[in-house]
Amino acid sequence: ANGIPEDVLMDNDLIKDLVDVAKDSALLNGVLMRTKETPNSSEVVTYAPFTLFPSPVPKDTFHQALAVQTHYNRLVDKISQDSSFLEEALATTIKVDDFTGRLFNIYRHVLQEGKIQSIVLGLNRSDYMLDQNGDGSASLKQIEINTIAASFGGLASHTPNVHRHILKVAGRLEDSKRILDNNPSAGLAKGLAKAWELYGSERAVVLYLVEELQRNIFDHRYVENELWKRNIPVIRRQFEDVAKTGFLDQDKRLFVDGREVAIVYFRNGYMPQNYTEQNWEARLMMERSMAVKCPDISTHLAGTKKVQQELARPGVLERFFPGEPDVVDQIRATFAGLYTLDMGPEGDKTVAMALAKPDQFVLKPQREGGGNNLYGAEICQVLEGVKQSTERMAYILMDKVQPRPVHNYLLRLGTPLKLSTCLSELGVFGAYVRHGQDMVLNECAGHLLRTKSDEHSDGGVAAGVAVLDNPLLV
Ligand code: GSH
């Protein structure tokens, strides 16, 4: 309710005009992406995909999501420091999931050798959907928390002006005033800057570890430019560059291309396809180094689906927040039902439950980047194949969150215009810096609303499924 009225959405002449206005506004406001055809050149670029109109989000759930973020920051940070928890939580997963297993090997290596950097920098994004209740209200339910390469904070800092402008041209000035300011670029940069200052070397650089195809470079550049404004030097390199030119000096300072690295900011390295043997070596070298890693290997592991599921067990949050029942309650209120697929009676129960009502669940492997989850008939197919074997332990099962669909137009280069039935996902950015035992920064760094057609069950903007959006608080 209280979104954009249907008669506006159905006014074809108005919509056609607005679409032209909208695309130009996106370009003028720097909501940009490189193209599929020329992903490594800025000669010809396009608008990043976005919705024609902002989407309604209930005010109270929006504020609930912002308010819980600093608690999530602390939670992720606490998990990252708790080796016995990580060992236990991931014990079964690493037996059957090679990728998590390899990450875990690096983790063990670093633990054994001893961490030498006491500065920790976390930049994450906790993603939610609003589950429809019977009475028409909605509950905030966490989909996942991204502790590595949490993206689109840069572009999200520039979409509010686009929607404001579109709404004004559509004759909806009052709605336009309700679009919130948002500046994750500044919030994420603040975290990077703080960690860089603590590292304490003016010449040392922030290294963006990037992939080969760099369509989303403008999103990176917004945060990067905030750093340059503060005279913090930034370089962009790939795993291959680190492998070829990188080394540690006798104090384990990391050098790449002759530059000392203060921070490695991973915008790559979250998928198995990102790694050759040489890249694994490079990741290990970076993790062993004195450079601040964003995220470090333990924080990366804290973001796995298996950890998410273990946190939902009774008593686990209490273990991380002794004497803070309010914090526990706030975090737990955002949990959807999460179920183990480990071998044994509990996991057997999960299998039976999923097979009986596959449409009510999502089957999640330990993967990032979008498009990996399984729904409906796929759940049955996969589970029938693995249910008797330990392979099932590579997955977790989660309640499927069922948000209320809303009509909107999704604007994406090369996609014909049509009215879509859409679902939205609200992300909240967190930034924190810990120095030894002291949290020296712990902030909510802004939000990201993404919207996709209900024809797709899974996938974000980078995966070509969702588009950028803004909340219209209702
Ligand atoms: N490598 C790209 C970048 O760093 O800009 C994409 C990274 C990526 O896909 N990040 C995921 C994400 O935030 C988390 S691992 N996706 C949001 C989306 O694609 O909508």
Ligand 1 contacts CB of residue 219 (under 6 A):
yes
Residue 3 pLDDT = 83
For 447-472, b/e burial (b = at least 16 CB within 10 A) is: bbbbbbbeeebbbbbbebbbbbbbbb
Atom of ligand 1 nearest to the CA of 368: 15
Residue 451 lies inside a defined structural domain of this protein:
yes
Tokens 């396009």 label which residue?
46
**355 and 453 assigned to the same domain:** no
SS3 469: strand
Ligand 1 contacts CB of residue 222 (under 6 A):
no
Residue 458 pLDDT = 86
Is the backbone peptide bond immediately before 358 cis, with ω within 30 degrees of 0? no
Residue 267 sits at the vertex; the CA angle it makes with 81 and 188, to the nearest 5 degrees, is: 70
**283 and 272 assigned to the same domain:** yes
| Residue at a domain's end among 400, 426, 441 | 400
Residue 368 sits in a domain whose CATH number is 3.30.1490.50
Here the ipTM equals: 0.97
Residue 315 lies inside a defined structural domain of this protein:
yes
- Given a cut of 90, whether residue 457 has pLDDT beyond it is no
| Residue 353: domain span | 337-400
**392 and 419 assigned to the same domain:** no
Give percent of the chain with pLDDT exceeding 70. Answer: 100
**373 and 433 assigned to the same domain:** no
**133 and 178 assigned to the same domain:** yes
**142 and 76 assigned to the same domain:** yes
**453 and 365 assigned to the same domain:** no
| Residue at a domain's end among 400, 415, 439 | 400
| Residue at a domain's end among 400, 420, 441 | 400
Residue 1 lies inside a defined structural domain of this protein:
no
- Taken in order 366, 372, 373, 378, is the CA torsion positive or negative? negative
**434 and 313 assigned to the same domain:** yes
Residue 270 lies inside a defined structural domain of this protein:
yes
Instruction: State pLDDT tens for residues 69-97.
Output: 999 999 999 999 999 999 999 999 999 99
**329 and 355 assigned to the same domain:** no
Residue 1 pLDDT = 57
**394 and 286 assigned to the same domain:** no
Ligand 1 contacts CB of residue 150 (under 6 A):
yes
**394 and 292 assigned to the same domain:** no
Phi, psi of 324 (to 5 degrees): -130, 65
Residue 93 pLDDT = 96
Phi, psi of 60 (to 5 degrees): -65, -40
Atom of ligand 1 nearest to the CA of 125: 13
Q: Which helix (H) or strand (E) holds 350?
A: helix 345-356
Instruction: State pLDDT tens for residues 355-389.
Output: 999 999 999 999 988 889 999 999 999 999 999 99
The residue from 141, 190, 283, 364 that is catalytic is: 364
Amino acid identity, position 453: S
**267 and 169 assigned to the same domain:** yes
Residue 450 is among the residues annotated as catalytic for this protein: yes
What total of structural domains would you count in the chain?
A: 2
Phi, psi of 111 (to 5 degrees): -60, -45
